[in-house]
Amino acid sequence: MVTLTIDGREVQAEEGTTILEAARESNIYIPTLCYHEEVTPYGACRLCLVEVARNGREKLVASCLYEVAEGLRVKTNSERIASNRKMIMELLLARCPNNKAIQDLARQLGVEKTSFKLEDKQCILCALCVRVCQEVVGVSAISLVNRGVDRQMATPFYEPSDVCIGCGACAYVCPTGAIGFEDVGDTRYIHWPNNKMEFKLRKCKTCGNYWAPEKQLDYIIKKANLSPDAFDNCPDCRD
């Protein structure tokens, strides 16, 4: 265990954990968009920036990536942080001016308008979907492709993915709701920002409701070594 100071409060944290984790543990709020405790931190959104003092100099670091250290002094809300964070928020707002999640967070951080040229995107390229698909689902159907201003979230060649199981985890974790996800009748539709896919749903043998994608159920059966009929019934009809 190491002891560090966050906003003047002494905080204990496990070695190897990050400032963000230590802060959350102590109920100290740091805004984030691309962070999720289940996946490797990525440092994409930069909203979690904090100031750390080292060798008498203070520098801005992404708290989701910066590891705690003995005697570390951290500030989470200095003037410098606030102005930098506002700038980041302005840039995000310029990219996604019509996104509810971005609008709400901007307002919360005191950003009402942006001075940058407006685009009309929903995705902030935080790669949370990519990480969840790879690390949690274990499939890796999507990734960030191209470079610079052409960077996009997509499947290889923008084609329907062979490996995607239609679980919708990407849509579930997306901080801006940029990924659409809908079950209509016997079909699940997943709308990514740059391409889309359809999945056939399995019908429950008892109640007849369509309840989960065939591919996802087959994947779980294979992965967990279940019997092939494990998912014949939906969760409501299982005894």
Question: To the nearest whole angstrom, how small is the minimum distance from the Cβ of residue 213 to another protein?
Answer: 19
Among 39, 61, 106, 141, binds another protein (CB under 8 A): 141
Strands 187-191 and 57-62: unpaired
Our finding on whether 144 is near another protein (CB under 8 A) is yes
Among 50, 142, 167, 179, binds another protein (CB under 8 A): 142
Our finding on whether 29 is near another protein (CB under 8 A) is no
CA distance 201 to 208: 11
For the chain, give the longest Cα–Cα distance: 68
For another protein, the closer CB: 76 or 155: 155
Burial class (CB in 10 A: 0-12, 13-18, 19+), 103: middle
CB contact at 8 A, 206 and 233: yes
Determine the 3-state secondary structure of 91 from DSSP. helix
Question: For residue 13, how many other CB atoms are within 10 A of its CB?
Answer: 23
Q: What is the identity of the amino acid at 21?
A: E
For another protein, the closer CB: 148 or 185: 148
Among 157, 225, 227, 229, binds another protein (CB under 8 A): 157
Among 10, 55, 147, 185, binds another protein (CB under 8 A): 147
Beta strand ranges found along 29-114 (DSSP E): 49-54, 57-62, 73-75
Question: To the nearest whole angstrom, how small is the minimum distance from the Cβ of residue 147 to another protein?
Answer: 5
Report the site for another protein in 77-136 (rule: CB under 8 A): 130, 134
Among 27, 55, 115, 146, binds another protein (CB under 8 A): 146
Q: Which residues bind another protein (CB under 8 A)?
A: 130, 134, 140-147, 155-157, 163
